Structure 1
C-alpha cells in the first residue's frame, strides 16, 4: 500500500476520547458459521446476524453481546469456547487470549488463536468472496506465506517476529501498552511477540511515561531499533529536517523518513517487489512508454519495474507527500527515464486526461502500477486510468473489499482480471495483501 492517507503519520497525537461502552447484553451460545471481512466471525441468533470476535468457523462459543443497538446485527465477544475447532491453538500473544476478559485483550492480533494454515485459508475465502460479490469474478486465489528467506527472524508457524513498526499508547497514569481490541483502553502487556527482536528489546513495557501520548518503535533494515516518545499535540519531526532511515530490498537501499511509510512486515517490501515483477506481463510492457507508478511513496515499486526491465525504463512515480517524492527521486537515480512527481493522484490524472493529445495518445502501451491506501483507488481514479487506456494495470491492495470494488469498476471499462496473487504480510491478523493484473480485452 502507498504513502497516502491511511499510511501517512497523523500530524498530531492528541489523545482521543475513549468511546463510552454500551451496556453489556446477554451471553449467547452461538454456532459460528464463517469469517467476515474485518476478521470477526459470523453467527446467528434467532435469525439475527451476530458478529463475534475471537471465534473460528465450526466452533460453538459463549459470547457476550456488547452492542445490540443495531436492528440488522449485533456484536459480541467470545467469553468461552464450548466446542473448539481443531484449528484453535494457544494464542500467539498471551495478552490477547480468550482467557482474558474482553476489555483486557490486547488488540492487533485477532487471528492469533488460529493455526497459521487455517488463517491463510480464511483470508483467501474473504478475498474470493469479495471478488465474486463486488468484482463479478471467480478466482481460486490462495494466500501465500512470505518466503522465509526474505524474512529472517520470523517464526512461520507462530506468525511472530515480523513487525518492524509498532505504535503503543500511554494511559493517563503513564502505563504503556497497546489498545484493547476495539477500544481506546490501554492494556499493559509483558510482551510484543509480533514485533522483530530489535523492537522487543527497546519497548518500554515496564516503564511509566506520564505526560506522553504514544510511543513509536521503528526497526529499520540498517541500524538499531529506535524508540520515539510522542507527547500530546506533538508534530512529528517539526523542528529541522525530519530524521531518515535506510531500508533495503536485496542490495538496493531506500532512504525514507523515519516517520514516513515503509512496509511493516520485515519481508514485505521484497515480497511485493517480486510479485509486481512477476505480474507485469513482459509481452505488454514497453520500456519507452509513459509507464506510471501511482501512490508511489519512496519509489519501491517503480524500482521493482526498473530492476525487472532495465536502466532505460521510462517511469513516473506519483505521490502526494512531498518528502516521500523527494526521497523517490534519489532512490530512482539509477534509471535515466525515471522521475518523481508530487501530486494527488486524481489531480495528476486529470492533467493527463485533459492533455491535448490524450484522446489519441493517452497512456498507449504503458503499464500502470498502483498501490492505493486501504480505501482503494475508487471510481474517480479508476475512470481516469481507464480513459487513458494503458496496456495493463498492476494493482497492489491491502483491502480485499476495496480491491474487489475497483476490479468491478475496471471491468466496466473493459479491463479484466488476468492474474492474482495474495500474501500473508500480516500474520495473526485478518489483513491480507494482494497483487492483481488487469488488462484491456480487445
Structure 2
C-alpha cells in the first residue's frame, strides 16, 4: 500500500458520515472525503490508502459546488489551501450554518437507527416530531465567536497554532474566528514559545482572559451560570461554548420527569466534573436534594464539593464511574432499593459510557436516566444497549454547541419500563 497516496480522483459526493466526512465511490471502492458537501462533484487527493475497502482523501478542487457551500469562515482552513496546510477544528466552516445542522441531524438519526436499533416510531415519540432539529445557541449568524477556550500548539520554531486535521503538524495562524472576542484579543499568535508544548487561552465568564503556558501551576477561576457561580481549576474541564453550560443546565432540568423524581432517593451525577449538572437538579428540586456526584479527577471533585455545599444531601466522590457502580451493586438490599427510585444524570466523555457502565446501571434499575452525549455513535450504542435492558428513550433534544465543526450534543431521557 502507499502507491496511491497523492493520486487525484474526480468523485460524486454522497451522504455525510460520522466524523464530518462525506462518502464517495471510485471504481467500487469507498472514498471518505474531507471538506466536501453531499451532492458535490470534487477532485479529491488520496491521503490514506492502507485499507483495501476504503481510502481517505481531501478535497482539492470543487467542480460542481453545493448550493450550501460558502466561503470558509476561517481562511486558514479553506479548501484553497493545500490539505497539509489547513488548520483543523473547523471542518464544517465551508457549509452554511443551517445546512450544517441538517447534516448533524442526519448523522445522529442514522446512528440511532443503525447502531442503536431505535425504530422510527420510538424516535418520533421521543422527539415529539417526525424529524430531529438541531437547536442553535445564541451567537453570530455564521457560527463564529463562541469558543471560550483554545489550545494553541507550539512547533519547533516556537510558533503557535492549531494542528492540521488528523495530524500533529502545527499550522501557524493569524486569527481565531471561532473564539470569543476576549480569547482572540488575548491569544499571542505572533509570539514565540520555544520549548513549551502548548499555550491555552481562556476567557471565563467572571474575570479577564488568561494564558496557561505549558504545565504552569493551576489557579482557580469562576464561571457563572445564571445567578450561580462555579469554582474550578483554570486547567480543568468546562463547556467550551460560551452559552453551553446554561443551555445544558436548562435541558437537563427539562429532561427529568418530575413524576419519576424522588429528591430523597440515591440520585447520581456520573462523570460529574465540578458539579454543573448536579447543581442543575438542585436548583430545580430544592435544598432537600440528595445526590452524589462521581468524577475520576480528584481536583474537579474537590471543587464539586465546594460548589454543591449548599445542599446538605449532596456529596462529591472521586472514583471511576465503573468502580463506583460496582460498589453500589455489591451493597445491601436496602441500599439497592433506594437506587430503584433514583434519577441518574450521566455526561460521559466522547467514548460514551460503554457496556460495563450500561450493565451496572441496568442492574441497579434507577427510575430514569438523563444522558448528555457529545458523540452520536457512542450515544446510539449506549441507548441501544439500555433499550435491550429495559429502558425506553422518552425524550431527545440536540444542540449545536460546536458550530462550524461536525460535533453535536444530545440530551436524552430514558425511563425504566
| TM-score bracket relative to the smaller structure | over 0.9
1:360 Cα offset (Å): 5.9
Could you say which residue in structure 1 is the equivalent of 2:347? 371
What's the counterpart of residue 143 of structure 1?
Answer: 134
Question: Which of 307, 310, 320 is matched with 1:334 structurally?
Answer: 310
String of CA shifts for 1:368-417, please: whole Å, max 9, x gaps: 00001111111111111111111100000000000000011101111011
- Measured after TM superposition, the shift of residue 141 of structure 1 is 2.1
Please give the alpha-carbon distance, in whole angstroms, between the structure 2 residues aligned to 1:56 and 1:264. Answer: 26
Partner of 2:197: 213
After TM superposition, give the deviation of residue 22 of structure 1 in Å.
Answer: 8.6
* Equivalent residue, structure 2, for 1:404: 380
Q: Greater shift after overlay, 378-387 or 136-145?
A: 136-145
How far residue 24 of structure 1 moved from its aligned partner, in angstroms, is: 3.0
Q: Deviations over 1:232-252 (max 9, x none)?
A: xx4x52xxxx30100010110
Matches within 5 A, 1:126-275: 126-137=107-118, 138=120, 139=123, 140-146=131-137, 148=138, 154-155=139-140, 157-230=141-214, 234=215, 236-237=216-217, 242-275=218-251
Q: Show CA shifts across 1:94-143 (max 9, x none).
A: 11010111111110000000000000000010000000011111333221
Q: Among 123, 127, 138, which residue is 2:104 paired with? A: 123
**1:276-287 → structure 2 map (5 Å cutoff):** 276-287=252-263
CA separation in 2, counterparts of 1:110 and 1:199? 20
Q: How does 1:31-180 map to 2 (within 5 A)?
A: 31-137=12-118, 138=120, 139=123, 140-146=131-137, 148=138, 154-155=139-140, 157-180=141-164
* Number of corresponding residues: 406
Q: SS state of the match for residue 236, structure 2? A: coil
81-90 or 326-335, larger mean C-alpha shift = 326-335
Higher helix proportion, which one? 2
Whole-Å Cα distance in 1 between the matches of residues 18 and 92 of structure 2? 13
SS in 1 for 2:339: coil
Residue-by-residue CA offset, 1:188-244 (whole Å, 9 max, x unaligned): 1110000011110111111122222211111111111111221xxx4x52xxxx301
2:128 aligned partner = none
CA, structure 1 residues 190+166, in 2 after alignment: closer, same or farther (shift >3 Å)? same
Match of 2:297 among 308, 321, 329: 321
Q: CA RMSD for the aligned pairs?
A: 1.3
Q: Measure the CA separation in 2 of the matches of 1:343 and 1:25.
A: 47
User: Greater shift after overlay, 75-84 or 24-33?
Assistant: 24-33
Q: Distance in 2 between matches of 1:294 and 1:346?
A: 10
Q: Which SS does the other structure have where 1:135 is aligned?
A: coil
Describe the shift of the 1:358–1:25 C-alpha distance in structure 2 as closer, same or farther (beyond 3 A).
farther
User: 399-408 or 132-141: which moved more?
Assistant: 132-141
1:440 match: 416
Structure of higher RCO (CA pairs closer than 8 Å, 6+ residues apart): 1
1:385 pairs, out of 350, 361, 366, with: 361
- The corresponding residue for 2:286 is 310
Segment drifting more, 373-382 vs 352-361:
352-361
CA offsets 1:52-104 (integer angstroms, 9 cap, x no match): 00000000000111111210100000001000001000101111010111111
TM-score (norm 2): 0.95
TM-score of the superposition, structure 1-length normalised? 0.90
Between the aligned partners of 1:176 and 1:330, the Cα distance in structure 2 is 36
Q: Aligned partners of 1:361, 1:130: CA distance in 2, in Å?
A: 34
Secondary structure of the 1:335 match is coil
Q: Residue 264 of structure 1 aligns to a residue in which SS?
A: coil
Structure 2 CA distance for partners of 1:340 and 1:360, relative to 1, 3 Å:
closer
Q: What is the DSSP-based 3-state SS (H/G/I as helix, E as strand, rest coil) of the residue aligned with 1:325?
A: helix
Contact 1:399 1:431 in 2 (8 A): yes
Task: Give the deviation of 1:356 after TM superposition.
Answer: 1.9
